[in-house]
């Protein structure tokens, strides 16, 4: 079986994400508590990125969280399959951006970033970027751990 999930390919990628989040430490707590990105919207963003990165641990945890916030099972399943069809209209630009952001390995082009900034404003865009970076670190760490389990168990665990 070929391993297809996104993982950290080298320690430098991990430390770049870790440094970004560490440097943003106070902003993480402020962003989560401020309500600038409502809980359901945060979960939608996280599910959109997780769908691209393929982390089974994050898929499970964030699907469970999304259901607790009142999202429907159908919406969660659609997000995990890559569809944003049942999502609120005012969140679709961010969700498409989140998918693109994950597909581009957290390196979106400036036109995409500017479109998000124009629609949501600077502060909300920074909050969205922070959430995307957090879930990326969780996804890639989870997938790296899963691959490690797969390798040390000779294919019996993981993946």
pTM summary value: 0.87
Please write the tens of the pLDDT for every residue from 19-74. Answer: 777 777 667 777 778 889 999 999 999 999 999 999 999 999 999 999 999 999 99
Please write the tens of the pLDDT for every residue from 84-115. Answer: 999 999 999 999 999 999 999 999 999 999 99
Angle between helices 25-34 and 11-23 (to 10 degrees): 60
What CA–CA distances, in Å, run from 94 to 8, 36, 127, 135? 24, 14, 11, 15
Please give the CATH number for the structural domain made up of 11-152: 1.20.1290.10
**Residue 120: strand, helix, or coil:** helix
């Amino acid at each position: 079986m070929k391993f297809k999930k996104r993982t950290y390919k080298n320690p430098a990628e991990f430390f770049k994400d870790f440094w970004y989040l560490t440097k943003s430490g106070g902003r993480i707590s402020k962003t989560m508590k401020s309500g600038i990105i409502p809980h359901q919207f945060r979960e939608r963003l996280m599910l959109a990125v997780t769908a691209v990165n393929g982390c089974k641990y994050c898929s499970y945890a964030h699907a469970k969280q999304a259901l607790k916030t009142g999202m429907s099972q159908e919406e969660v399943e659609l997000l995990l399959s890559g569809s944003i069809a049942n999502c609120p209209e005012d969140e679709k630009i961010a969700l498409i951006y989140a998918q693109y952001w994950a597909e581009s390995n957290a390196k979106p082009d400036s036109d995409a970033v500017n479109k998000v900034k124009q629609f949501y404003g600077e502060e909300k865009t920074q909050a969205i970027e922070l959430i995307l970076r957090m879930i990326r670190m969780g996804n890639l760490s989870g997938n790296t751990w899963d691959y490690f389990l797969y390798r040390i168990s000779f294919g019996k665990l993981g993946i």
